[in-house]
Structure 1
Amino acid sequence: MRYTIILLAVLVSFSSCAQKKRPIKGETEFQRKINSEYKDATTSPLKDKDRKRFESLDFFKFDSTYVVEAQFKRTPNEKAFKMKTTTDRLPVYVKYGELSFNLKGNTYKLNIYQNQGLIEKEGYENYLFLPFLDETNGLESYGGGRYIDARIPEGNTMIIDFNKAYNPYCAYNDRYSCPIVPRENYLQTSIEAGVKAFKKH
């Protein structure tokens, strides 16, 4: 009997610890990864009051329709330019290439960019930046558009997974300086994939 009581006490202590350390929410690896970053005080863009109450970002349901194979066209002779941001910071980018793809029976084009300062950092030598606007902005998604991280493709195609579209940090906290999506990257369709607008407390 005494051992049963001790065993029960141990089980209760284990379950209370497990309840405190709640599993990271998300139905895909991307969703769990970004939720984990936003919960962590060392990597989160959230304001302290929002982070303390944070459990999960709001996502569109994963939809394989929004995983598209795009034709990649390198544009090697582009001039570097200063991309506007939400502050007076002007990071230098170059248009690296063009992506053409079909989505729900229509053809679209996006420019993809390379940050000339970021490629100096180890691990970011082949990093590309894909910002876009679409018809969900200001409704289900953040008004300023969203971003997708990419890498230089080895061939002439690239997979664009709009389920991995995320908000600029400015959507959560105005102390950040975020690139403003160029108008030529406006998609005249609703991209119902990726991270939705953030509801601040």
Structure 2
Amino acid sequence: MRYGLLFMLLLAISCGQGKKYHDETTSVSTSGLVADIVEFQEELNESFRDPDTSPLPDKYRKDFEGLEFFEPDTTYVVVAQFVRTPDAIPFMMPTTTERESPEIVYGIAHFTLNGTEHQLEVYQSLDLMDQEEYVDYLFLPFLDETNGEETYGGGRYIDLSIPEGDSIVIDFNKAYNPYCAYNKKYSCPLVPRQNYLRTRVRAGVKNFKKD
């Protein structure tokens, strides 16, 4: 999770580690999409097993078998109209600690999901935008009606990259939990309320069960 790497580098506190971006595409087969989702799940599980990248405390990692995911569902892969917001004013995004993260709204994604039209703000980190590795990185945090039940109560994140055109692919199957869901020592951005989806997003990582 590229967004999390920022905090590992700056504070030795993070919410994620590197994963593939889901680049813009409109012609990928269903089987190809499912394979890509399965690969994402495998890579995420592998990172959780690795003591160098895992957010899990040792007592959970030693018996870790894998995260719980919703079954891959290509209906949660949406092509959104992407409206850039070049005049947006930078702001400080609150986190779960006293730290604040400097962000700017890079654009707004408009899409249809579960038969309803939605929109989400997509952010660019001011701390990352000048770094070559993250020059095209965008951050999409969101809340939905599964939070606190099937998924983490604080919402989930999706990593994106700047698209070339006026559309962007959002794969909710690649929604992952902030590291705060696993370990309270991490500092994680709070999802803005305007990024609440009034629908159930039954895709991506489920809530972490510590029993």
Whether these two folds match at TM > 0.5 is yes
Cα distance in 2 for partners of 1:134, 1:163 equals 14
Residues 149-197 of structure 1: CA deviation (Å, up to 9, x unaligned)? 0000000000100000000000000000000000000000000000000
Deviating beyond 4 angstroms after TM superposition, the runs of 4 or more aligned structure 1 residues are none
Q: 2:161 matched to 1:154?
A: no
Q: Secondary structure of 1:30's partner? A: helix
1:5-154 alignment to 2 at 5 Å?
28-154=38-164
CA drift of 1:120 comes to 2.9
Question: Where do 5+ consecutive residues of structure 1 fail to align?
Answer: 1-26
Letter in 2 for 1:111: E
Q: Say what the alpha-carbon RMSD is for the aligned residues.
A: 1.2
Is contact 2:114-2:199 (8 Å) kept?
no
Residues 122-144 of structure 1: CA deviation (Å, up to 9, x unaligned)? 31011000000000000000000
Letter in 2 for 1:161: D
Cα distance in 1 for partners of 2:210, 2:131 equals 33
Residues 23-77 of structure 1: CA deviation (Å, up to 9, x unaligned)? xxxx700000000000000000111111111010000111011000000000000
Q: 2:195 matched to 1:185?
A: yes
Identical-residue share of aligned pairs (%): 59
Cα distance in 1 for partners of 2:194, 2:128 equals 23
Question: Where do 5+ consecutive residues of structure 2 fail to align?
Answer: 1-36
Cα distance in 2 for partners of 1:120, 1:38 equals 29
Cα distance in 2 for partners of 1:120, 1:91 equals 15
Residues 59-99 of structure 1: CA deviation (Å, up to 9, x unaligned)? 01110110000000000001110000000001100000000
Report how many aligned residue pairs link the two structures. Answer: 176
Q: Which has the higher contact order (CA 8 A, sep 6+)?
A: 2
TM-score by length of 2: 0.82
